[in-house]
Structure 1
Amino acid sequence: MPAPTRRRRWLTICAITATAGLVAIPASAAPGGHGGPFGVRALDRLAAQREHTVGAAPRLKPEDGDDGNEADEIAEGADQYAEARTAPGVVAPGAYGAAWRSLNDLKRTKGSWRHVTGLAYDSDDPRYRDIDSNSSGGSGEVTGRMAAMAADDDGYVYAGSAGGGVWRSRTGGGHWRSISDRLPSQSTGALAVDGAGRLWLGTGEANTNADAYLGSGVYVLSDPHHGAFSARSRVGGDELESTTVRQLRFGGGKVWAATSEGVWSHSTKNLRGHWKLEFAPNPDYLPGGSKATDAHAAYKNITNDIAVDPKNPSRVILAVGWRSGDDYNGFYTRTAGGWRRITSGFGELPTDAGNVGTVTFARSADGSRYYAIDQSPEQMATNPDSGLQGIYRAASPFGPWTRIADYKQLAADGSALTTAGYMPGVQAWYNQFLTVDPADPEHVYAGLEEVYETKDGGASWSTVGPYWNFNFPCWSIDPARQSGSCSQTTHSDQHGVAIGRYHGRSYVYVGNDGGAYRRPVRGSQDSSGHATDWASLNDGTIDTLQYYSVGVGKDPDHHGVAVTGGLQDNGQSILRSDDKVMGSDFGGDGGDTLTDPANGCNLAEEYVYLAVQVTQNCAVNDGSWMTDPAKATSYNVAPADNATGEARFIAPLAADLRNSATWIAGGRHIWVQDHGYAIRSGSEWRSVYDLGAGRTATAVAASGGKVYAAWCGPCNEDGFARGIAVGNADGTGWHDISLPATGADGTVPNRYLSGFAVDPKNAEHVFLTVNGFSRHWTEGPGAGAGHVFESTDGGTTWKDVSANLPDVPADSAVVTPNGGLVLATDLGVVHRAPGHSEWRRVGSLPAVAVLQLKLSPDGGTLYAATHGRGIQAIGVRDLG
């Protein structure tokens, strides 16, 4: 059987937004930053690699000069997710915290949310081995991104998710329960078990990726085997609100926190009292400082890790710096005269600002060995292969350090990245973990895109968790041959690691973009050095899936409905009405989704940048397209803006409410096609309106042939502009709506326009949702006020109907059959009953972002795509 010719790569999306306060960090705005890790998106190459017709599926070809463009995609996605929540300016800390308090003060509707996706999600489901699937890659059961892991010697494991809170297992992994639902932030930055057995949580994911939220501080759980985090368990005051926490380290009776606003410390004995700011390289840029509203403020005090000398806890090394580089990047230590920068005596570990980026430390239990991973801003900007400077070891955190691995060495030791056109460390600013076996100071696990292991202090390495199994000699797409050949691997993109014991045996636990996995610390390997004993811990009791979209249609073969949705780095999920396991019919990232209400197996799925695929059988396939290309059952139908790079990372896609065969897609142009799910080529789209150079669609909607399109351009805070265009699907009547440029009171603000909800009974009646924060929080021209606006004349004029709605980013809305309005926000769902102006909170979801809402085919059930807690549903009648 030939090698696979077409696979979605897992290296995908990863801006800092906030829960309990927003400070965005888009890469392009940062000092020394780039639109992507290498300054170019190479979208022409991306499009060329992704285009295919049935019978012609070009292989990813790094030899053609693929310069790591999917790492660029991550940074591009980071820019755009942040732009939506920060433009036209800088958002002050505390915005999300205030919104969460206001949301909790709202009256509630009746009814409770039903968890739709609370079962195992098998990325290798053998039913879905069509040309665009990653099935048979070896990642097994997956869930949403895990940013941190912790474990103890009693079989307890703790998994901290990017947007779905902290989870506990009493059985060495699996049978999970959430223990952080009452916190105002569900974003995890760091987890650690201290010497007294307490569990410490630093909120705010610190991976500087597209959909990471800031946190509300540090919390401690004295009895983690039984208790749950609450607001009362917060350590200190509000000093660490609206930050990210990348690491928590202990020494000398203190806990040290490496945050996005400097290094802080607190007593581990008296948990009250304020946190102490130990070091901030640029304190004027901190909240309250003279430069706090500067557009670059979020980049100026980023710290990554702390190494504490256990023999003398007063001796500390700080790793400080922004991933894309700044003058202050480097290593710092404390002297009698204060903190000073280390400029020499470190050995092979660089100390110059250009080569110190994201850094992770680890030390052995006996204190005899220290290890470090260093990502280089200079290399990230100039080397298309990797941003990894190296992995290092030393006998003391003060050095001298010796390099024990670089990306070339790791690539030669069984890496699968080269088969995907990359090299280890291509995303070293996003993917990092490091830990030492407590029983052996020479035994180390390192995480980048893959998982690496050395048993001899770095003299030799094995890729125990390869990127995927495709292209290995053991791989086969045939389900009958797959079992017993290639071993299961982990999902790609590593973030968290811990070592603990269960039933007397030591295990290593890793967290990545696919959830949590484990293997024995001293596990088995095949002849290539790949582990043969990884086990997925994503058994369905833990659902932290990060949906961008949701689609619902009648199940054509069974009673009930088929529910699908697009996910961060976990493709497109498909759940049929009689399924016991959810499958994945498309790989990579999953963006927007269209589902035929009358037939849930008629699907259109966006990857990124309007790369749209369509299937009419749920993409069911046994892989027979490998030998007979005509047997592929999904088709690339991307409109032209995909190839030119003139669409947003997650670009808008919609079907006409009254005619599901008419689709609208938005990039620079507004595209229409009338073939519905029978479309087979991107050439079947026609451009009905050009928004103009530098503009790109942020939302589209249509009903009865009337089309609404929102746009931005420029889309960041530097000259941010937004607008609305309306016209007809046949190309007639198109024009821009006149909106006040500065977002005067009562008019549409000069912020990101995120969605339309058209009244199904009257196409001239439409609601507009607005992201970001009002001027109370946003320093920028025209931030205005309000998040929901109504038009009864086809978009010509708009009225603010936000009323008592909390000041929280609004993401999408739907009009219910009885004329009510339901709104998805970054902190949950609210509802306005027909004939009323007051908003009520829907159910009691944790503080999780809800990015899209859809109604069931009969209009009786509302489905919510949450970005951290899977897909949730509630009866429309229960809304009141």
Structure 2
Amino acid sequence: MALSRQRRRGIRLAAAGAASLLVIAVGVAQAQTPSTAQHTVAGEDSGELMDSINSFDDQRLSPTASVLPGAYGAAWNHVLGIPVAGATYGEVTTQPFNSDSLHFRDRNASNSGSGAGFSAGRIAALATDPTHPGVVYAGAADGGVFRSSDDGATWTPIADGLPALSVGSLAVASDGALWLGTGEATTAYENYLGTGVYRLADPATGTFSRNDRVGGVELESTSIHELRFDYDAGYVYAVTSHGVYRRPVAATQTTAWQQVLAPCAGVGISGIACGTSSYYADIANDLAIQPGSHGLKLVANVAWRGGATYNGFYYSGDGGTTWQTANPQGAINPHDIGNATFAYAADGSRLYVVMESPTLLNKAAGGQSGYSALAGVFASGSGDINGPYAQVATSSALANTGSAMKKTEIGAGYQPGTQAWYDQSLAVDPANPRHVYLGLEEMYETWDGGATWQTTGRYWNLGMSCFSYTPAQNTCDGNVMHSDQHALAFSAWPGRAPEVYIGNDGGAYARPTSQTTGWRNLNASGTLRTLQFYSVGVGTLPTGGVAVWGGLQDNGVALSTPTGAKYTYTYPGTTTPVTENLNPSGQMSEPFGGDGGDQLVNPSNGCQTVGEYTNLAMSLTNDCGYTANDDGTPAAITDISPNDPNARFIAPFAADSADAGYWVAGGEFAYADTKTWQSTSGADWQKLADSGAGHSITAIASRNHVVWAAWCGDCNPSAAFARGIMTNYGGSWHQLTLPAAFPVRYVSGVTIDPSDPTGGTVYATVSGFSRHWNEGPGAGYGHVWKTTDGGATWSDVTGGDTAADAFPDAPANQLRIAPDGTLIVASDLGVFVDNVKANGLGHWSRLGTNLPVSAAVYLTPSPDGRQLYVATHGRGIWQTAMP
């Protein structure tokens, strides 16, 4: 979770919200929401990260966070049999994404110039191919697997044939096969779950297919944090959100995975009292095999970050058949073990551990701000899991190693390890047992076993004594990479210097293990295309082409324009128009920093946009966010936040579809702004209606000032979950009484039919899974609902419950209406259309088949209405002809 300058300067305070437990995007799992105290985390921006996760979780898990395994598989099988509407998608966001572009460095709203350079989306796993020099594999959060054959210079996707593009782990076996564990596991559950493990026999040239799955259905709907090979014992282990599994390496492809460690389930060990915490029990975070033990000695961390009775270190002396609970001695408190990562020296002489502290996590939940959640980094000098351990790093010590996260640099409340429940990676140089890489928010390195550390991958340069807004005066070294470290890998190719590879929320980086300054940015070519968009907006440029904007997870707001696109500005304080080149280098830019949310673009002027940071923190630019000078002046972006008390992390806003001079936005309150592009502050927003205390608007739309808004509250999946729709249709604001059949699930979208001049014909899209899979009361059926009488009555237009052309039973995210009346819906499994005129309501087709199966979350038409733009949360923005 990267801070933005506007966050750092205090323009906006994060809106703390209740946190939910699991996410389902391209997978499902049973889930339960523990107490809020177990989710609120140390540091305001660590809490903001949790809000970000919740923004995706809540709508997919409501109402009760209990979804039966098999929901995704059933939905995907339905997709495979649904009719196909001919369409071909083209990828839009193919230019390299330069987060440090010159002239997009507004000092209040941009991170540009902070030092991270080119960025991609989150990389959760990395592996190098020992038999093919220069071949590297990268696994993305919801973007699949990419292969580089030139040591990270360029990349190609190789897993687009799989039904799940969420990656948790990658490992190359001794026979050269690449093993893929699906289901991202950076926060145990709160990401996309997967469909098991796949094995690609010839990864240097091949691509994954559904036939490459190893085992049966036993690992469906899990997240797989690690795959570990134990050749001496003959096993491969999967470290999952439901414990540790194993199978013989040489077994037949269909041989099932066997669960060997699940303390709460009594597997591998007995006598662990887990109480009623079964829904978040047995989360395995890591497993390591002690070198020199002939594959018999294993250590595992099974722990829930907020604390649970089963939390601990477990060890086996027989290759994982039986397990014991460790009792670590020395500096580790055995009663405060949280999420942990292990790393053995290659000779087995030392065991390093980085660990999160549930106690510190929960202190923040109790209102004691400023805590890091890092328990510390520890070393067992004998390699024994029981220690004794010496503490070789603390949060405060790491802050004084050149870190940008020192209190005097970044401010209180965000010190190293504040997100240790999310950011964890640890690895020992195979050639040096005292050379260790540690990934938290930043990357740290020690050459003496932890006696001293250096920050070798800083959070950013902002606030550092070396930094200057004037590029020529900036003396910072190259030890900066994107924040939030998740993956580490080493290469050892003959005739080449060994390298270390880093995966984080901004992509991948590398450098020789002997190097101490600077990083090779593996995102620079723009071919590692894993950006996680929340939105897309498009507007024309006077010199031709369009400007494409979109809010991103942890990468601000992206702007894509044609190479050489120009725009004419009259800068504040001047009277002479100046024509500037928006894109001289063929790159995307990041005019707004931090996270990006919803996006509003003027279709007739692509340089006019409103971007959201988070929680309805809105900023406006009339000049593409372009600053005339290299140092980020004059200001190009204006804060127009309405300062709502309870906005969603990704809060909705839009222009009236019939009156471009009328904007609406939704937090707890519904707002209108009639100054639009002439707005100068949050005071230009006027309250229209209150959705209710504790409520948050999830979707909003307006046509001829008839406004519809859907809301949730409590939005956290729980027994208290509620949802509703309000409107001023008929002349006054009122809450609708929804029929009993209308699902009690998250309403993700409301769309007003332009063919009805009264504004009384509206479609509502509903997220989550139906009562087929959701055990909660009131889960209901259907994903697309329609009213023609202002909400007095509703009908389910999802289609027949067992019909081949029904809308898939998977989260629906947004609905658009094509000029000919065709309904278009973005979902977690792609884009689907209903040609109402030809087929009638409730008869759906899949719109094309070449869109990667990354959650499609947002749709917008081109300015001329002839093209449809689709934002995916893991594979960038795509376009196709408007149906």
1:476 to partner: Cα distance: 2.1
Structure 1 match to 2:503: 511
Distance across 2 between alignment mates of 1:9 and 1:233: 50
Within 5 A, what are the aligned runs for 1:231-630?
A: 231-251=210-230, 252-270=233-251, 271-283=253-265, 296-312=277-293, 313-334=295-316, 339=322, 341-342=324-325, 344-352=327-335, 355-382=336-363, 384-394=370-380, 395-398=382-385, 399-418=387-406, 419-421=409-411, 422-482=414-474, 485-487=476-478, 489-501=480-492, 504-524=496-516, 531-556=517-542, 558-578=543-563, 579=583, 580-622=586-628
Which string of whole-angstrom CA distances, capped at 9 and with x for unpartnered residues, describes residues 352-395 of structure 1? Answer: 2xx21111111222222221111111112226331111112223
Structure 2 unaligned residues grouped into runs of 5+ = 365-369, 564-582, 800-805
| Equivalent pair of 2:189/2:241 in contact (CA under 8 Å) | no
Within 5 A, what are the aligned runs for 1:129-208?
A: 129-130=105-106, 131-153=108-130, 154-208=133-187
Q: Which amino acid aligns with 1:23?
A: A
Q: Which stretch of the first structure deviates more once superposed, 459-468 or 486-495? A: 486-495
Within 5 A, what are the aligned runs for 1:657-696?
A: 657-696=657-696
SS at match of 1:390: strand
| Equivalent pair of 2:25/2:191 in contact (CA under 8 Å) | no
Report the TM-score, using the length of structure 1 for normalisation: 0.89
1:597 to partner: Cα distance: 0.8
Distance across 2 between alignment mates of 1:255 and 1:543: 30
Q: Which amino acid aligns with 1:280?
A: A
| Equivalent pair of 2:298/2:317 in contact (CA under 8 Å) | no
Structure 2 match to 1:41: none
Structure 1 unaligned residues grouped into runs of 5+ = 39-67, 525-530
Q: Which amino acid aligns with 2:410?
A: A
| Equivalent pair of 2:94/2:526 in contact (CA under 8 Å) | yes
Distance across 2 between alignment mates of 1:341 and 1:18: 33
Distance across 2 between alignment mates of 1:210 and 1:589: 21
SS at match of 1:72: helix
Which string of whole-angstrom CA distances, capped at 9 and with x for unpartnered residues, describes residues 86-143 of structure 1? Answer: 1112111121121111112112112210100012000001120113010001111101
Structure 1 match to 2:873: 867
Structure 1 match to 2:776: 780
| Equivalent pair of 1:31/1:296 in contact (CA under 8 Å) | no
Structure 2 match to 1:56: none
Mark the CA change 1:103 to 1:808 in structure 2 (over 3 Å): closer, same or farther: same
| Equivalent pair of 2:726/2:735 in contact (CA under 8 Å) | yes
Distance across 2 between alignment mates of 1:727 and 1:360: 53
Which string of whole-angstrom CA distances, capped at 9 and with x for unpartnered residues, describes residues 158-186 of structure 1? Answer: 10000000100011112111111111110
| Equivalent pair of 1:19/1:242 in contact (CA under 8 Å) | no
1:624 to partner: Cα distance: 7.3
1:567 to partner: Cα distance: 0.2
Q: Which stretch of the first structure deviates more once superposed, 266-275 or 181-190? A: 266-275
1:235 to partner: Cα distance: 1.3
Structure 2 match to 1:832: 834
Which string of whole-angstrom CA distances, capped at 9 and with x for unpartnered residues, describes residues 321-351 of structure 1? Answer: 1111111101122479975553535432332
SS at match of 2:69: coil
| Equivalent pair of 2:290/2:344 in contact (CA under 8 Å) | no
Structure 2 match to 1:842: 847
Mark the CA change 1:857 to 1:295 in structure 2 (over 3 Å): closer, same or farther: farther
SS at match of 1:854: strand
Q: Which amino acid aligns with 2:432?
A: D
| Equivalent pair of 1:24/1:86 in contact (CA under 8 Å) | no
| Equivalent pair of 2:5/2:593 in contact (CA under 8 Å) | no
Which string of whole-angstrom CA distances, capped at 9 and with x for unpartnered residues, describes residues 620-652 of structure 1? Answer: 0156787x7xx31211111131xx3x1111111
Distance across 2 between alignment mates of 1:849 and 1:8: 31
1:687 to partner: Cα distance: 0.9
Structure 2 match to 1:655: 655
Which string of whole-angstrom CA distances, capped at 9 and with x for unpartnered residues, describes residues 503-528 of structure 1? Answer: 6121111010000111111113xxxx
Which string of whole-angstrom CA distances, capped at 9 and with x for unpartnered residues, describes residues 1-44 of structure 1? Answer: xxx97566999999532355313768xx2258434214xxxxxx
Mark the CA change 1:344 to 1:218 in structure 2 (over 3 Å): closer, same or farther: same
| Equivalent pair of 2:224/2:240 in contact (CA under 8 Å) | yes
1:82 to partner: Cα distance: 1.6
1:638 to 634, 641, 644: 641
RMSD value over aligned CA atoms?
A: 2.6
Which string of whole-angstrom CA distances, capped at 9 and with x for unpartnered residues, describes residues 404-432 of structure 1? Answer: 11111111111101222221100001001
Mark the CA change 1:654 to 1:701 in structure 2 (over 3 Å): closer, same or farther: same
Matched pairs, number: 815
SS at match of 2:362: helix
1:752 aligns with 2:751: no
Distance across 1 between alignment mates of 2:403 and 2:689: 46
Distance across 2 between alignment mates of 1:209 and 1:278: 19
Distance across 1 between alignment mates of 2:764 and 2:377: 50
1:87 aligns with 2:86: no
Mark the CA change 1:6 to 1:739 in structure 2 (over 3 Å): closer, same or farther: closer
1:488 to partner: Cα distance: 5.6
2:88 to 112, 121, 139: 112
Structure 2 match to 1:51: none
SS at match of 2:54: helix
Structure 2 match to 1:64: none
1:772 to partner: Cα distance: 0.4
1:753 to partner: Cα distance: 0.3
| Equivalent pair of 2:747/2:765 in contact (CA under 8 Å) | yes
Distance across 2 between alignment mates of 1:248 and 1:210: 17
SS at match of 1:73: helix
Distance across 2 between alignment mates of 1:88 and 1:493: 31
Mark the CA change 1:393 to 1:207 in structure 2 (over 3 Å): closer, same or farther: same
Distance across 1 between alignment mates of 2:878 and 2:747: 24
1:34 aligns with 2:17: no
Q: Which stretch of the first structure deviates more once superposed, 218-227 or 603-612? A: 218-227
Mark the CA change 1:673 to 1:20 in structure 2 (over 3 Å): closer, same or farther: closer
Percentage identity across paired residues of the two chains:
43
Q: Which amino acid aligns with 2:311?
A: N
Which string of whole-angstrom CA distances, capped at 9 and with x for unpartnered residues, describes residues 733-775 of structure 1? Answer: 11111113xx42xxx2111000012222323222110000000
Q: Which amino acid aligns with 1:396?
A: G
Structure 2 match to 1:724: 725
Mark the CA change 1:100 to 1:147 in structure 2 (over 3 Å): closer, same or farther: same
Distance across 1 between alignment mates of 2:776 and 2:154: 47
Which string of whole-angstrom CA distances, capped at 9 and with x for unpartnered residues, describes residues 37-89 of structure 1? Answer: 14xxxxxxxxxxxxxxxxxxxxxxxxxxxxx1110112223334222111112
| Equivalent pair of 1:863/1:871 in contact (CA under 8 Å) | yes
SS at match of 1:214: coil
Q: Which amino acid aligns with 1:391?
A: V
| Equivalent pair of 2:27/2:183 in contact (CA under 8 Å) | no
Distance across 1 between alignment mates of 2:444 and 2:627: 33
1:78 aligns with 2:79: no
Mark the CA change 1:298 to 1:515 in structure 2 (over 3 Å): closer, same or farther: farther
